[in-house]
Structure 1
């Protein structure tokens, strides 16, 4: 039997504890060996069998480690990724890859020089609702698309005291939720022709952006990415319109809520969306509601793909080039919002 790949997880806050550690544990062929954290008691309460270190560079230097997973604040992604790559480790970075395109370029260069796999945790490619949308687009069910609206709205009127909400590199909603929404659109349609963005602060006491409305231009198609923190009636996730019909989806993929509640990947009903979309198709007699695709979401597929890439030499489920393309769009959005101009990408 092939030995399990040994994983070092750097960071045991929300991302490391709630998302990465359970997903790594749920994938055969991966073994969490080390967690880098300043709070060993918290780690051992959940994972008594793992080693805990407060020094990421010691974990990078451990010859037993095959894969380093970075679940740290965004501003540290580039420097830690480069250090891990130079130490000879394969690297997974929680999204986004870096805080700007210049940093992203440095990380990709380090991966190329080291000959190691670099991937970014764009896990929402395996959301149930996105898999349904992807099936509709690939089948041509909605005809020629005109509009894709992708929302990730929440109601969080109080500004929490955490790094994502404090002024500084890598903070703000656009670099938090934007990578998810951008990556999904790039998966469906490739790199947009241009980006037009409005990014702002709405909550009292906000130090960083907590609202964005970004339009990606793909020829005649417009993909609208929207997120806000003052939406008490949040419900819409997708609205997609084309010459062949429309598809509407409310509610979020259930996997994040399940993990936060303490469920584990693979538990009964894992990834089953309780609110499938509504599909309206154009027929000769008018617009008729027909059954919507309802696939099961499964974020484990990301780490299963990473495992296969490391063992078989196949491309990882999210390539470094794909993550770099996301960074191009994120930076174009920042530039567009700052200047009020449409920023071309082609």
Structure 2
């Protein structure tokens, strides 16, 4: 069984970990959540929502507990490497939130240390298991589109308030997701071309990005724009035999807000959210149909970790994929700095 301790108790833990882990009681037990004492003051009520979990501000209690075999790091980005290395040094397997590290070199150090200590360390690129991404993957795997030629991935918003935001970091906090989805699906690209900048704070922000990843004849376009007023498809996929369009879904919504643990719906989404597939079949006939949306399940990354730790399985988020995503983020950040 995976016996888990979380480092941090923010939105990510409550919304994107615990509701999914809670459905896997046969294989996962959450024993601890570590919080700094200053973070707990005035926020004690939320801890009472999880009576089976021990909340502690003693990091040694967590790290020295021999029953704990998985540390999940959910701290602010700048502390990811610090706590991941601490977990490794204590012989713990570790799942670290994105970005896995703040540089390629940092990530290499972590992977090398994990190999030396004989533990499993993986990046929590959970959005590979988004409902829309899982649906696109399923369509691609059917082969009905033929040879893939182009795929567009859009994280678009209409938030003019972005004009008030100054400083870099948007790439590492947001664009890391769609970049990883492409790298996770297609591997390390042959070439990367970046157009990253800011309409409002050029040279001092990275809130607009258009990143092209080339795979032989195929190009994957990853875009984020905060000035898109009309909703744009989340994915557009073109192949020699057809096309597929997937609408925006975002994170699977929590059920009605109320005091207590976050609850997530795992019910199928209605047809208005389904994708549209059009292709030429083996008889030369045009086929157009709606494609049901797959169920979002961030717990699948824990299923993989279980197989890796106990059954010598392969990591779903490979080390080289993590390093490549960080290389792209570093390249894109430099482009944004120069876009004055």
Q: One fold, TM greater than 0.5?
A: yes
TM interval, shorter chain, is 0.7 to 0.9
- 1:232 matched to which residue of 2? 229
Q: The residue matched to 2:80 in structure 1 has which SS?
A: helix
With 63-72 and 14-23 compared, the bigger mean Cα shift is at: 14-23
- 1:295 matched to which residue of 2? 294
- Tell me which of 97, 122, 137 is aligned to 2:125: 122
Q: The residue matched to 2:6 in structure 1 has which SS?
A: strand
Q: Structure 1 residue 338: deviation in Å?
A: 4.8
With 171-180 and 104-113 compared, the bigger mean Cα shift is at: 171-180
Kindly indicate whether the alpha-carbon contact (under 8 Å) linking 2:206 and 2:333 is maintained by their aligned counterparts in 1. no
Kindly indicate whether the alpha-carbon contact (under 8 Å) linking 2:212 and 2:219 is maintained by their aligned counterparts in 1. yes
| Residue-by-residue CA offset, 1:255-298 (whole Å, 9 max, x unaligned) | 2x227957535x45067785111112136877542343543332
> 2: CA distance between counterparts of 1:12 and 1:234?
32
Q: Structure 1 residue 33: deviation in Å?
A: 0.9
- Tell me which of 146, 157, 161 is aligned to 2:149: 146
Q: Structure 1 residue 104: deviation in Å?
A: 0.8
- 2:5 matched to which residue of 1? 8
Aligned residue-pair number? 329
> 1: CA distance between counterparts of 2:137 and 2:305?
21
Q: Structure 1 residue 220: deviation in Å?
A: 2.1
- 1:344 matched to which residue of 2? none
> 1: CA distance between counterparts of 2:59 and 2:193?
38
Q: Structure 1 residue 241: deviation in Å?
A: 1.2
Q: Structure 1 residue 149: deviation in Å?
A: 0.4
> 1: CA distance between counterparts of 2:52 and 2:159?
36
> 1: CA distance between counterparts of 2:179 and 2:212?
10
| Residue-by-residue CA offset, 1:120-151 (whole Å, 9 max, x unaligned) | 11112222222222122223211222211000
Matches within 5 A, 1:1-346: 4-28=1-25, 29-37=27-35, 38-39=39-40, 41-158=44-161, 167=167, 172-202=169-199, 208-255=205-252, 257-258=253-254, 261=257, 264-265=263-264, 267=265, 269=267, 275-282=273-280, 288-292=287-291, 294-338=293-337
Kindly indicate whether the alpha-carbon contact (under 8 Å) linking 1:8 and 1:32 is maintained by their aligned counterparts in 2. yes
Q: Structure 1 residue 321: deviation in Å?
A: 3.4
Q: The residue matched to 1:152 in structure 2 has which SS?
A: strand
> 2: CA distance between counterparts of 1:48 and 1:205?
48
> 1: CA distance between counterparts of 2:220 and 2:108?
26
Gaps of 5+ in 1: 341-346
> 1: CA distance between counterparts of 2:163 and 2:33?
26
1:34–1:208 distance in 2 versus 1, CA, 3 Å:
farther
RMSD over aligned Cα, in angstroms? 3.0
Q: The residue matched to 1:149 in structure 2 has which SS?
A: strand
> 1: CA distance between counterparts of 2:208 and 2:23?
34
| Residue-by-residue CA offset, 1:90-145 (whole Å, 9 max, x unaligned) | 00011121111111111111111111011111112222222222122223211222
Q: The residue matched to 2:170 in structure 1 has which SS?
A: coil
Q: Structure 1 residue 215: deviation in Å?
A: 0.7
> 2: CA distance between counterparts of 1:273 and 1:315?
35
Q: The residue matched to 2:32 in structure 1 has which SS?
A: strand
- TM-score calculated relative to the size of structure 2: 0.85
Q: The residue matched to 1:96 in structure 2 has which SS?
A: coil
Q: Structure 1 residue 35: deviation in Å?
A: 0.7
Kindly indicate whether the alpha-carbon contact (under 8 Å) linking 1:159 and 1:205 is maintained by their aligned counterparts in 2. no
Gaps of 5+ in 2: none
> 1: CA distance between counterparts of 2:19 and 2:163?
25
